[in-house]
């Protein structure tokens, strides 16, 4: 006797899930890739990106205006900017690939060049410990050797060019004036305890590229990278323990809004949250499949994420407590049997499935399977879940489809 197959009309919730999860899509006014977001005040923030883009908001992201990079030096147009950092609402720096470090002292009204790097380096990350002392890390061109730059006059002059290792350095963070950490390619982690005069190499225990590092104090820190990598230390970097992220996506940014509450963002629209210091990480429904490059929280509840194609997301409640008030719209996704017991087949019409995730009604990811080859439009998933209503998120080469699944 043929198995009864019940094909349910499925709904796509992309935009509505964002609203229910309270990750709202903001109008950036641009379609260029955005790489770094920083808010020096509750409502005043800056985002840096491709094509010389620096965006500014003074009303918490409701409106964004593009800043003009002015410089007395003759520079090529449209520099790619990977990092922006402000020590106050008026003073900040932005930097990127093969251009000067740009400096503003009037909130972005005008920008000048701290120094001209004459097409020999790419700087990926900026961090200031106070108004005068700052650091920038990256790599030289074309060798790819790691570089650390240091300023003691607020970014006007940069010295201390260091070719430390033949690996690109991607992120720098100082939990206090003397103690700093740098993360980079092939599991590279460096540490200074004297304000950057010297650096020592720490053993991360991995060879995957690391793109972002964040410390909640001088001893407790996190770094994220390729293949969903999250590492944590509680002893100032002497030992690093791999966390279970629940994703295979590249993670580009990590930020902690409190001692135990942190967020990571990355490729395929990935946003993860922990509320217990990394013991568990939960996937949040971002409502986009764009690569997300930077996450920043202005306070314990208000956060921003910037990514490719001009995407900017905002939350005012830490990302939301659940999925609710969902309005349906047509989808390419079918799930059968539905209701299901311990397995089902997920099919996406005219698209190849790369990843299937299942979320409960609180937004917690309870299942994930990687089909990264992306060669099939239908895949079978097995699960052991309690009876109830769930949402299935199928990532494909064109985006994300979300459907409703009932388990009995």
Question: Which structure tokens are listed for 338?
Answer: 């539905």
- Could you tell me the two tokens for 149? 């730059």
pLDDT for the residue numbered 18: 32
Confidence at 163, pLDDT banded by 50, 70, 90: low
Q: Residue with structure tokens 């089909």? A: 371
Which pLDDT belongs to residue 372? 74
Q: How far lies 165's CA from each of 184, 197, 201, in Å?
A: 10, 16, 10
Q: What is the pLDDT of residues 222-252, one digit of tens each?
A: 999 999 999 999 999 999 999 999 999 999 9
Provide the pLDDT for residue 398.
66
Asked whether the predicted pLDDT for residue 403 surpasses 50, the reply is yes
15: enclosing H helix or E strand: helix 14-21
CB atoms within 10 A of CB 289: 22
Nearest to 50 by CA among 83, 85, 75: 83
- List all residues 6 or more positions away from 74 whose beta carbon is below 8 Å from its beta carbon: none
What is the mean predicted confidence (pLDDT) over 175-198? 96
Q: What is the mean pLDDT of residues 10-17?
A: 33
pLDDT in tens, 51-105: 889 999 999 999 999 988 755 444 555 678 999 999 998 999 999 886 668 899 9
Predicted local distance difference test score (pLDDT) of residue 331 = 58
Q: What is the pLDDT of residue 234?
A: 96
Task: Catalogue the E-assigned strands of 244-364.
Answer: 251-256, 262-266, 271-274, 282-284, 292-297, 303-307, 312-315, 333-336, 343-348, 353-359
Whether pLDDT at 327 is above 50: no
> What secondary structure does DSSP assign to 132-168, as a single string?
S-EEEEEEETTT--EEEEEESSTTSS-EEEEE--SS-
* The pLDDT of residue 241: 95
Set out the domains of the chain in order of their start, with CATH numbers.
23-315 (2.130.10.10), 324-407 (2.60.40.3080)
Nearest Cα neighbor of 60 from 349, 346, 304, 310 is 304
Using an 8 Å Cβ cutoff, are 170 and 124 in contact?
A: yes
């Amino acid at each position: 006797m043929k198995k009864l197959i019940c094909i349910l009309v499925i709904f796509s919730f992309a935009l509505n899930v964002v609203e229910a999860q309270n990750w709202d899509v903001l109008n950036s006014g641009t379609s260029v890739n955005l790489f770094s977001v920083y808010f020096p005040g509750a409502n005043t923030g800056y985002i840096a990106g491709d094509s010389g883009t620096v965006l500014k908001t003074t009303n918490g992201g409701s409106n964004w205006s593009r800043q003009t990079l002015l410089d007395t030096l003759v520079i090529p147009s449209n520099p790619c900017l990977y990092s922006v950092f402000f020590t106050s609402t008026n003073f900040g720096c932005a930097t990127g690939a093969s251009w000067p470090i740009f400096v503003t002292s009037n909130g972005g009204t005008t920008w000048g060049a701290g120094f001209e790097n004459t097409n020999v380096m790419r700087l990926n990350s900026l961090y200031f410990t106070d108004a005068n002392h700052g650091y920038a890390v990256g790599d030289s061109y074309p060798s790819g050797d790691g570089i650390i730059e240091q300023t003691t006059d607020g970014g006007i002059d940069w010295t201390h060019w260091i070719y430390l290792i033949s690996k690109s350095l991607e992120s720098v963070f100082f939990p206090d004036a003397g103690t700093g950490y740098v993360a980079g390619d092939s599991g590279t982690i460096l540490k200074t305890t004297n304000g950057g005069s010297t650096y020592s190499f720490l053993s991360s225990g991995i060879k995957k590229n690391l793109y972002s590092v964040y410390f909640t104090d001088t001893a407790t820190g996190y770094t994220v990278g390729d293949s969903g990598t999250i590492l944590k230390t509680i002893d100032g970097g002497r030992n690093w323990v791999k966390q279970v992220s629940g994703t295979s996506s590249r993670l580009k940014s990590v930020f902690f809004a409190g001692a135990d509450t942190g967020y990571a963002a990355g490729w395929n629209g990935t946003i993860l949250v922990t509320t217990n210091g990394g013991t568990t990480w939960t996937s949040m429904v971002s409502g986009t499949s764009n690569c997300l490059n930077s996450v920043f929280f202005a306070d314990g509840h208000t956060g921003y994420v910037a990514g490719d194609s001009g995407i900017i997301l905002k939350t005012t409640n830490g990302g939301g407590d659940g999925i609710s008030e969902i309005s349906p719209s047509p989808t390419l996704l079918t799930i059968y049997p539905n209701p299901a017991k311990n397995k089902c087949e997920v099919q996406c019409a005219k698209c190849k499935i790369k990843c299937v995730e299942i979320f409960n009604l609180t937004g917690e990811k309870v299942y994930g399977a990687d089909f990264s080859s992306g060669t099939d439009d239908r895949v079978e998933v097995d699960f052991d879940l309690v009876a109830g209503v769930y949402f299935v998120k199928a990532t494909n080469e064109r985006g994300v489809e979300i459907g409703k699944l009932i388990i009995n």
